[in-house]
Structure 1
Amino acid sequence: MSKHYKPAFKLAAIAAVLYSGATLAQSGVTLYGQADMFIGGIKSPGTGERAFVANSGGMQTSYWGIKGSEDLGAGTRAIFDLNAFYRTDNGRVGRFDGDSMFSRNAFVGLENNTYGTLKLGRNTTPYFVSTILFNPLIDSYVFSPMVFHTYFTASAPGVYDPGIIGDSGWNNSVLYSTPTWGGLTANFIYGLGENAGNYSQNKWGGNVTYFSGDFAATLAFQQVKFDNTPFDIATGNNSLLTGVSKQSAVQAGLSYDFKIVKLFAQGQYIKTSVSGAVPSGDIKKTTGQVGASVPVGAGAVLATYAYGKTDNAISDFKRNTFALAYDYNLSKRTDVYAAYFYDKIVGVEHGDSFGVGIRHKF
């Protein structure tokens, strides 16, 4: 098997880790996680100044968790997962100040070999899983163009792009995952609004993933109708955009491993309905991403490009983003990396980031 980014896992295995709360043993508790730290420079579009940093989570956000299962018999297991982000640069809990402790996952549920898995609590959304599985820089919030185009806010004169509303995990949610049939798995999530007298304010979505040999594909959708002030995951602050009534998003992804190169592609459309705000009217965003992972030595060269176009009734803007990285495996659990990221929003001074780092899984 060729060695690509995250070489210890295939795409299906990554999905299993994100969706599964059960340990391999019949009953027990597992402590797990990873620490990621990088040194480099960061310059956001339109800022004009670069910050030199020693920051947590260059290639992937640092996290730790406790998960476990109990065999209940007849192919059924009780499962739980309490999973927290943290920052290695300052030792603080969460991705940002004010983030909840177990913001990656916090659920309890049941898993059955025949009927699938049901989880109650804070769950990683299927849409997020589809986003990260089909680009070569996976879920890097520093260097992955697709993550930036999907989960970060952006703006240009006359237009504001809130990105995906609702974060990568949903509180007060129910997540159901089907058993895998011939490489095909479906996941459905519903987030309760918990607003007395208003049953229509909710979040719901899902995805379908398919893994067959060297080929993989996904289709994902989600709709958000509550907690509607857009949230900037980069800063941990709510955006200036108000009056959002609904957001709908759909995404498709493909990958194929040719052994000498693994290719990735994604397409995405997000529609955000806004009233009483500046800018007003629907904000529509279309994004496409292509990428490749090329085995080189004990690691892989990772390259990806994303193009996005955001518009409303007033104006529109285009965004071009690319990244280039090399990830070298020191062992099955430890790797070092170097990466460069370039982000250009039309009408705004470009941003770019670079860094070298180390990541260790435990």
Structure 2
Amino acid sequence: MQKQYKPALKLAAVAATLLSGAAMAQSSVTLYGQADMFVGGFKDVGGADRAWVANSGGMQTSYWGIKGTEDLGSGNKAIFDLNGFFRTDSGSMGRFNGDSMFSRNAYVGLQNDKYGTVKLGRNTTPYFISTILFNPLVDSYVFSPAIFHTYLVSAVPGKLNDPGIIGDSGWNNSVLYSTPNFGGLTANVIYSFGEQPGKTSENKWGGNLMYFSGPFAATLAYQQVKFNIQPVGDLGVPTGFDRQDAVQGGITYDFKVVKLFAQAQYIKTRINGAANGGDLKHTNGQIGASVPVGAGNVLVSYSYDKTKNDVTDFKRNTAAIAYDYNLSKRTDVYAAYYYDKRNDAEHGDTFGVGMRHKF
């Protein structure tokens, strides 16, 4: 009797192996990221001494992640991405001490060919995506004027504290919906939940439109942040903060011999109490270019900003130039210089040479 079952058992084992292979072929998991390190010097606006550094994330903040998809059939896919920053200079996780492990992205979602994509978790905001895609130095927190004018704090001591965009480049507890591509046009909408009893949300919501057609691209982005209490973990939030509205537009055009960039932005930060300086009004613009030279690109950018409240104001001029040379499809080396001048203080600058490797 046992001999009669052996062929059937073998066939069952072969079938199970084939079915397992078919299931695995419909799913994928990818480990990916990049390591960026530079050597140089920097001096803050109004700072006395220059600091010499071997630091992480010159052209782009270093990160690593695991992402994957599973084909569910009928044009549906399950997706996930767990993606965090790290510092190559010290081997530490996060952009700063206390940053979460997967602060770049941490979501699970569903994707459909006809109806778009929904992601649940910590998501990169559409506003940040519009900011980085429409300036030549992308998301460099060391050399990009557009990033400095949008996401970093600038202050006139005791009179004016301009926090830039409040709420980070990624939002916790969020739902992000992205439309399919309609002839080059896409839309993204994000909403962040408050997760407190009696409080539906923190009034954190935003979105963008992006259009890509041949050499031309354009974007329009908006977001609103309002907290009933000062948010934990948001750096540089002014005393008396009530609400912030931000709107940004950007365009690019690639002439092949040069790619041109332009951005304009307005941020209004509402502050309770005249003693806290009143509402902040931040207006800035950026122009830039990327010029192919050899196996790399010369990148130039200039930004102008005026920020004011009921007490005072300041003007800020920022410029940067870099050369990014590709050693291969995954590895590049760069040299960059950044100049920053606020009208009420001595100028600051940063320069460095570095290397970036994608994996």
Same fold (TM over 0.5): yes
Contact 1:286-1:309 at 8 Å conserved across structures: yes
**Alignment-mate amino acid for residue 111 of structure 1:** Q
**After the TM superposition, which parts of structure 1 deviate over 3 Å for at least 4 consecutive aligned residues?**
227-231, 276-279
Query: Counterpart in 2 of 1:107?
Result: 107
Q: What percentage of residue pairs aligned between the two structures are identical?
A: 71
Deviations 1:186-231 (A, max 9, x none): 0000001112213363200000000000000000000001286489
Q: 2:326 aligns with which of 311, 324, 329?
A: 329
Q: Distance in 1 between matches of 2:128 and 2:196?
A: 25
TM (norm. structure 2) is 0.90
Classify 1:240/1:33 alpha carbon distance in 2 versus 1 (closer, same or farther; 3 Å). closer
Query: Counterpart in 2 of 1:169?
Result: 170
Q: Distance in 2 between matches of 1:228 and 1:301?
A: 45
Query: Counterpart in 2 of 1:352?
Result: 349
Q: Distance in 1 between matches of 2:116 and 2:201?
A: 27
Q: Distance in 2 between matches of 1:356 and 1:277?
A: 45
Query: Counterpart in 1 of 2:55?
Result: 55
Q: Please state whether the residue corresponding to 1:281 is helix, strand or coil.
A: coil
Q: CA deviation at 1:320?
A: 0.4
Q: How does 1:8-87 map to 2 (within 5 A)?
A: 26-87=26-87
Contact 1:241-1:277 at 8 Å conserved across structures: no
Contact 2:80-2:107 at 8 Å conserved across structures: yes
**Alignment-mate amino acid for residue 132 of structure 2:** I
Query: Counterpart in 2 of 1:311?
Result: 308
**Alignment-mate amino acid for residue 222 of structure 1:** Q
Q: Distance in 2 between matches of 1:237 and 1:351?
A: 25
Query: Counterpart in 2 of 1:133?
Result: 133
Q: Please state whether the residue corresponding to 1:150 is helix, strand or coil.
A: helix
More helix by share: 2
Q: Is residue 2:339 matched to residue 1:338?
A: no
Q: Distance in 2 between matches of 1:319 and 1:59?
A: 22
Query: Counterpart in 1 of 2:217?
Result: 216
Q: Please state whether the residue corresponding to 1:132 is helix, strand or coil.
A: helix
Q: Distance in 1 between matches of 2:229 and 2:165?
A: 10
What RMSD over aligned residues (CA atoms) do the two structures have, in Å? 1.5
Q: Is residue 2:248 matched to residue 1:247?
A: no
Contact 2:163-2:237 at 8 Å conserved across structures: no
Give ranges in structure 2 of 5+ residues lacking alignment.
1-24
Q: CA deviation at 1:315?
A: 1.1
Classify 1:78/1:53 alpha carbon distance in 2 versus 1 (closer, same or farther; 3 Å). same
Contact 1:305-1:323 at 8 Å conserved across structures: yes
Classify 1:30/1:278 alpha carbon distance in 2 versus 1 (closer, same or farther; 3 Å). farther
Q: State which structure, 1 or 2, has the greater radius of gyration over its C-alpha atoms.
A: 2
Classify 1:74/1:271 alpha carbon distance in 2 versus 1 (closer, same or farther; 3 Å). same
Q: Distance in 2 between matches of 1:221 and 1:161?
A: 18
Q: Distance in 2 between matches of 1:240 and 1:192?
A: 19
Contact 2:222-2:247 at 8 Å conserved across structures: yes
Q: How does 1:128-207 map to 2 (within 5 A)?
A: 128-156=128-156, 158-199=159-200, 201-207=202-208
Q: Which has the higher contact order (CA 8 A, sep 6+)?
A: 1
Q: CA deviation at 1:278?
A: 5.1
Query: Counterpart in 2 of 1:13?
Result: none
Q: Is residue 2:262 matched to residue 1:265?
A: yes
Contact 1:193-1:226 at 8 Å conserved across structures: no
Q: Distance in 2 between matches of 1:114 and 1:36?
A: 37
TM (norm. structure 1) is 0.90
Q: Please state whether the residue corresponding to 2:346 is helix, strand or coil.
A: coil
Q: Is residue 2:97 matched to residue 1:97?
A: yes
Classify 1:140/1:42 alpha carbon distance in 2 versus 1 (closer, same or farther; 3 Å). same
**Alignment-mate amino acid for residue 67 of structure 2:** K
